[in-house]
A and B are shown apart, each in its own frame.
Chain A
Amino acid sequence: DTGVSQNPRHKITKRGQNVTFRCDPISEHNRLYWYRQTLGQGPEFLTYFQNEAQLEKSRLLSDRFSAERPKGSFSTLEIQRTEQGDSAMYLCASSLGGETEAFFGQGTRLTVV
């Protein structure tokens, strides 16, 4: 399978715990995006990378969120001290450039209890 892969698919965690999600993009894609989506809403931009460089992080994100893309390949999104409001679907997408179509993974559904 050469599509975008996200792990885990589902994560249930207790409030206050840290969680980390992984995204493996399509291999030749240099751009990688993270989005958060809640029920009935559109994907909300979190951050994006061009190769290993993180070019922008949404101002809506608190300091509890951090993302990395070492070596410009896979990426991780970490949420520290999770809160119930962090419960959402976290989507990863990759593309060849800024103006080309992005392909999405199946997402990681986070539930904070």
Chain B
Amino acid sequence: AQKITQTQPGMFVQEKEAVTLDCTYDTSDQSYGLFWYKQPSSGEMIFLIYQGSYDEQNATEGRYSLNFQKARKSANLVISASQLGDSAMYFCGGSNYKLTFGKGTLLTVNP
């Protein structure tokens, strides 16, 4: 079984600054994937970024990057140059044979 832990219920960041959202995972599998999703107040789950367990380089997608530290079992999301539209819930997910999620972090971007 895989367990995803997000320890930050809420985070605040000033517009244009960078922010890191924490995620740790616990799995005994060698092969797995790690994901981040954004859920704005409208409710849809929007895929942001993916990291495979065998990928040696950290994944990047535009302003999003995933700081993958395998030994620490962490997969933190870094958002650079925050925008007001980044205010949302963010969920970390992990998948070996099924996709499960953490409890989420509510990010608020202040002007």
Contact = CB atoms under 8 A, between A and B. Distances in A.
B33 A99 contact: yes
B103 A41 contact: yes
Contacts of A91: 45
B12 interface: no
Contacts of B50: 100-101
B82 interface: no
Contacts of A40: 104
Interface stretch (B14-22, B62-70, B71-79, B92-100): B92-100
A100 to B, nearest CB: 7
Interface of A: 33, 35, 40-43, 45, 48, 55-56, 89, 91, 93, 95, 98-104, 106-107
Counting contact residues on chain B (CB < 8 A from A), the size range is 20 to 34
B98 A100 contact: no
Interface of B: 6, 31-33, 35, 37, 43-45, 47, 50, 52, 91, 93, 95-104
A43 B91 contact: yes
Nearest to B45: A104
A31 B56 CA distance: 26
A1 B43 CA distance: 19
A104 B98 contact: no
Contact of A103 (B33, B43, B47, B96): B47
A100 B33 contact: yes
Given A42-B103, A56-B98, A93-B99, A99 B47 contact: no
Contact of B43 (A89, A95, A99, A101): A89
20 contacts: A35-B101, A40-B104, A41-B104, A42-B6, A42-B102, A45-B101, A55-B97, A56-B98, A91-B45, A93-B45, A98-B97, A99-B95, A99-B96, A100-B33, A101-B33, A102-B93, A102-B99, A104-B37, A106-B44, A107-B44
A98 B98 CA distance: 6
B87 to A, nearest CB: 15
